[in-house]
Amino acid sequence: MGAGPGSGIRSGRGDDPGAGAAAPVRRLCVIGVGLIGGSFARALRAAGACAEIVGCGRDAAHLERARALGVIDRAEVDPARAVVDADVVMLAAPVGASGALLQAVAPVLRDDALISDAGSVKGSVLAAARAALGGRFPAFVPGHPIAGTERSGVEASSVDLFRGRCTVLTPTAETDARALARVRGLWEACGARVVEMDAAHHDRVFAAVSHLPHLLAYTLVDWIAARPDAAELFDFAGGGFRDFTRIASSDPVMWRDICTANAEALGAQLAEFAAALDAVLRAVRAGDAAALEALFARAKRARDRKVEAER
């Protein structure tokens, strides 16, 4: 992820670099102990960065499974009880639940507690945090780890999920520098590479490279499944279909929330992509081999450069 003029990406750590970043967390509360929340807990425990981890979610059986796996030490289904005396609260639930969760925990947070999140959309979460937290809003540090798989649930969590991967933090002008430094330090303890980005810019970027691809994968699978010849088509679907549609096995509730929360930016990207697809349709119908080959060659070069840069 490169930075350039107007990119909205920052690498700074605030006015006091590292302030509070090294302090261990005495009690971490993770709300939403699934792939992301569970991996965050596992990584910090492995790094020796926290002493106690409280997990919170709606499903008591799921939380008991997380406790049995050693991901959390204690479980609570009530968010207000879960955050009592926590140093750091991580929201890793679907973004659509952020507002209600923040409203529930705000009255009982410790005065010095830090709050962060791991949602894929930042504008809506920031608005919810500002409304729910009031004067505590500067202690909220919004984040988005760029890591994951199509699998979900605490069983899919991994101590290494974030290692070598990028985590984006989207602080505002009001964000407390010490809170920002400490949250940055926690993600770095997980092995992540941390960058900062303006929230609106973040939502436009990820509408194009994350939210739109998921929407396309879901739509293609659903379109084929609804056809009268679906069984035959799926029987003959090979590696290309599996590769392209792998992410359609992701959590539907999570992606419902992401698409609705980022509707404006996603809608704009979808409209632009539809125009590009119309151009491809015209080339196919016209038998314009030169236009198709040029498209494929451009795309191959761009993807090959991206893959090479990641090695």
Closest CA to 20 of 112, 83, 85, 145: 112
User: What's residue 153's pLDDT?
Assistant: 87
- Quick one: CA dihedral 116, 118, 119, 122, positive or negative? positive
| Distances 297 to 37, 81, 190, 239 between C-alpha atoms, Å | 40, 56, 38, 21
User: What's residue 8's pLDDT?
Assistant: 59
CA geometry: angle 263, 267, 272, nearest 5 deg: 160
Residue 169 host element (H or E):
strand 166-169
User: What's residue 4's pLDDT?
Assistant: 39
User: What's residue 24's pLDDT?
Assistant: 84
pLDDT along the chain (311 residues), means of 10: 46 41 83 96 95 95 95 96 97 94 97 96 96 97 88 89 96 97 96 97 97 97 98 96 94 93 97 98 98 98 93 81
User: What's residue 57's pLDDT?
Assistant: 94
Q: In what order do the strands lie in the sheet with 74-76?
A: 74-76, 50-56, 25-31, 88-91, 114-117, 140-141
Closest CA to 110 of 194, 26, 8: 26
- Answer left, alpha or beta for residue 159, where phi above 0 means left and psi between -120 and 50 means alpha: alpha
Half-sphere exposure of residue 113, counting CA atoms within 13 Å on the CB side? 25
What domains are there in the chain, each with its CATH number? Answer: 12-197 (3.40.50.720), 202-310 (1.10.3660.10)
User: What's residue 22's pLDDT?
Assistant: 53
